[in-house]
Structures are given as structure tokens and as C-alpha cells.
Amino acid sequence: MAQTVEHGRWLIRLIVLKKLLLAVVLLAVSLAAVLGDLHYAELSDFADTWGKADRQFLSSLAEKGTLLGPTRLMRLALVSGLYAALILVAAWATWVGRRWGEWLLVGVLGLALPLELEHALHEQSPRPWIVLGLTVIGLVLTTRMALTPERHQ
């Protein structure tokens, strides 16, 4: 039984690491959206300049920012920043073995399910189904870990 709990703990830590990577990406999106809002008038100039300099990724981001508009850019910044903070708190608390962190991680994984399901249903690729399956597995493992009454550290 102790080996199964320890194996489950390592799987949970892998899930936490993946969520930390997601939080970093979301923080970058939030920062980019804030900067895009602050420099909204110059976004189309940035897109042109970066396009001419063969920086297609940056050019594409600037173009998408102009299409969103300043209000939606700020909403994107706020939502992605708050979700990233929630993920960071859940990941940290789970990593250090806090039971409330495990439950918060269950909530974070549960929040992602509807979006991942919608994405899987609309995309003609196996990748979103794999991501959805991993999220469900993570949700089951994290819930089991949170429900486990005894701790083996």
C-alpha cells in the first residue's frame, strides 16, 4: 500500500510540474495582454515591423491583439493572470503536501475539463483527446490522494 501511495505521489508531482509550466505560459499571456493594452495604438506598427523582420510569431501576436481590442485584452490579462495565480497556489500547496492544495488542484483540473472536452470535440486531431485523457487521469489521481486519510511522507 505504501508503494502505491508513493507511486501516486510521483504522478501527482508530474501533474504539478505540468501545471506550473501552464501557469508560466498564462502569466506570459497576461503580461503580453497588459503590454498590448498599454501600447494598443502601436500594435499594428509592431506587427508590420516584426513582419518585415521575419518575426512571424511576434507579428501574429500583435495582429491578434489589434483584433481583440483594448477591453478584451484587459479581460484576457485579468483572467489568465488570476487562473495562473490559482494554479501556482494549488501546485505549491500540493507539492508540499497540503490537503487543501490537493483539493484546490482537483478544482483546477475540474475547471479545465469542459474546455478540453469542447476543444477535443471540435478539433480533428488525437492531441486534444490525449490531453483530455491525461486531465481525467490527473483528476482521478488527485482526488484519490486528497481522499486518502493517512499520509506516507
The residue ranking higher by pLDDT, 10 or 17, is 17
> In the prediction, which pLDDT does 153 show?
47
Distance CA 26, CA 55 (A): 21
- What is the phi/psi pair of residue 152, to 5°? -120, 105
Distance CA 146, CA 124 (A): 35
Question: Is the Cβ–Cβ distance between 145 and 12 less than 8 Å?
Answer: yes
pLDDT-derived band of residue 88, with 50, 70 and 90 as boundaries? very high
For residue 36, pLDDT beyond 70: no
The residue ranking higher by pLDDT, 53 or 142, is 142
Residue position matching grid coordinates 509592431: 46
Distance CA 114, CA 70 (A): 27
**Averaged pLDDT for residues 13-22:** 84
> In the prediction, which pLDDT does 78 show?
81
**Averaged pLDDT for residues 101-120:** 90
> In the prediction, which pLDDT does 2 show?
53
**Averaged pLDDT for residues 22-41:** 73
Residue position matching grid coordinates 481583440: 68
> In the prediction, which pLDDT does 92 show?
92
Give whole-number Cα distances, 80 to 9, 43, 53, 77, 87, in Å.
Answer: 28, 20, 29, 5, 10
For residue 20, pLDDT beyond 50: yes
Strands (E) in 15-134, as ranges, are: none
Highest mean pLDDT pick, 21-25, 38-42, 90-94 = 90-94
Distance CA 3, CA 10 (A): 11
What is this structure's pTM? 0.68
- How many degrees, rounded to 5, is the angle at CA 23 between CA 43 and CA 25? 35
